[in-house]
Amino acid sequence: MKSRKIGGIILTILLFIAAIITIVPFVWMFISSFAPNSEIVKVTGGLFPKPSTIDNYVSIQEKFNFLRLFANSLIVAVLKTGIAIYTSAVLGYVFSKMRFRGRNLLFGIVMSTMMIPWAVTIIPQYEMFTNWGLQDTYTSLVLPGMISAFGIFLFRQSISGISDELIEAAKLDGASETRIFHSIILPMSHNTIAALAIFTFLWNWEDYLWPFLMITDENKQLLAVGLKAFNGQYGTDYGGLFAATSLAIVPVIIVYMIFQKQFIAGIATGSGK
C-alpha cells in the first residue's frame, strides 16, 4: 500500500514536470507577442522578454490581412470537421450494425488506408485535382477530408456498443434506418462526436502543405500558410508572428474546452473495444 502511494506521488510529480515543459513555450510565446523584436532577440536578460507594447497585435491586420485568413481557416476547418463527423458516423453505423457480404473485407480496406503515409498520396492527389481544374478553390481543400478512416473506426467501435435490441425495437415501431440513425445512433454517440471533432478540427486548422499547394490566391489562403508572411528575406518579424500565432490557437482552445469531458469519454469508448 505504501509503495503504491509513493508510486502515485512520483507519477504526479513527473506529470507536473511534463505539464510545465509543455506550457512554458506557449507562455513565452504569448509574453513575447507584447514585446518588440529587439527585446525578443536580445541575448542578454531573463528568460522572458519584457512586454511593453500592443503594436504587434495592431499591425498584423495591416501586414497580411489577418482577419480574412482567420475567417478562411475557420470556415474550411468547421466545414471539413462537420462533413467528416457525419460521414464517419454513417459509415461507422453501416459497418457495426448492418450485415452484408464483404463487410469485414471493406472495413479492412478502409483501415488499411490509415497505413499509407500522406506523402505517398500527395503527388497523385495534386495531379488529379489540378487536372480537374480545382486548383485555387476551397473544393480542393474540402474533398480530401470528407471521409476519415480514423473517424469510421472510432464510430464503429462506439456504435457497436449500442444494443441491437434497441434498434430492433425501433424497427418494430416503424422507424426507418434514417430515422434510427438520426434519432438514436447520433444522440447516443455524442462522446465520439466530441472526440472526433477535436481531432479533425485540429488537423484541419493547422494543415499547411495541402493548402500551400492548392491555393495561390492570397485572399483565399488559410492562416497556417499566411503566417509565413512574417518571415522575410532579411529577417523575421517575431513579434507579429507570435501575436498572430497566439490568436490562431484560440479556436483550438475553445473547441477543446467545450468538448473536453466528452473527448475523454469518447476516446475511452473507442479504444476500449
Rg (CA), the chain: 23
- In terms of residue numbers, what domain contains 222? 64-229
From its phi and psi, is residue 232 left (phi > 0), alpha (psi between -120 and 50) or beta?
Answer: beta
Q: Cell 490566391 appears where?
A: 217
CA triple 219-66-142, angle to 5 deg: 50
pLDDT of residue 40: 80
Residues facing 231 on adjacent strands: 236
pLDDT at 6 over 70: yes
In a domain, 184, yes or no: yes
pLDDT of residue 268: 56
pLDDT at 142 over 90: yes
In a domain, 73, yes or no: yes
For the segment 18-23, the average pLDDT, to the nearest whole number, is 90
In a domain, 59, yes or no: no
Winning range, highest mean pLDDT, from 58-72, 137-151, 215-229:
137-151
In a domain, 244, yes or no: no
- 124 versus 256: the higher-pLDDT residue is 124
In a domain, 120, yes or no: yes
pLDDT of residue 1: 62
In a domain, 42, yes or no: no
In a domain, 140, yes or no: yes
| CATH code, domain carrying 179 | 1.10.3720.10
pLDDT of residue 258: 81
Inter-CA distances, 171 with 156, 164, 165, 179, Å:
20, 11, 10, 9
What is the count of structural domains for the chain? 1
pLDDT of residue 235: 64
Inter-CA distances, 134 with 125, 129, 138, Å:
11, 5, 8
pLDDT above 90 covers what percent of the chain?
A: 26
Contacts of 118 (CB under 8 A, 6+ apart): none
CA distance 201 to 249: 12
pLDDT at 233 over 70: no
In a domain, 207, yes or no: yes
pLDDT at 172 over 90: no
